[in-house]
Amino acid sequence: MQHTIEVNGIQLYANHGCMQEEAKIGGHYTVDVEVTTDFTASFHSDSLEDTVDYVTINKIVTEEMKIRSKLIEHVGKRIVKRFQQEIKGIQSVKLKVTKHTPPINGDVKNVAIVIKEDF
């Protein structure tokens, strides 16, 4: 079976970016996570051990976003790698990291990267 769990709109403040100002000042980010798993057992058991814990997803995202990277691509891949290593039962992941009001020449609301991986 294939089921989906989403944790959307994780709001964070972090210091990612290639410019020194971004390292000092930081900026606002939003992370959306979609994992595919099989939580059939949890239908019957009503037990957290039989599904993917949303708290663990949020914890990994928060911890990795605290570690400075120049590129959101880099931090995104670290998050996906930790999901694969630390959360049992994940079949695939889709991760979106959005950087709000990036310091680029122009009036841009946000930029984002999306990583989709099967395990």
pLDDT confidence of 53, banded at 50, 70, 90? very high
- Is the full-model pTM beyond 0.85? yes
Give one word for 6, left, alpha or beta, with left for phi > 0 and alpha for psi -120 to 50: beta
Q: Which tokens belong to 87?
A: 């959360």
| Chain centroid, CA 68 distance in Å | 15
Domain boundaries, the chain: 3-118
Using CA atoms, how far apart are residues 22 and 18, in angstroms rounded to an integer?
7
CATH number attached to the domain at 3-118: 3.30.1130.10
- Kindly report, residue by residue over 12-34, the tens digit of the pLDDT: 999 999 999 898 999 999 999 99
* Average pLDDT of the chain, as a whole number: 96
Q: Which of 82, 58, 61 is nearest to 72 (CA)?
A: 61
Instruction: Give the max Cα distance, the chain.
Output: 54
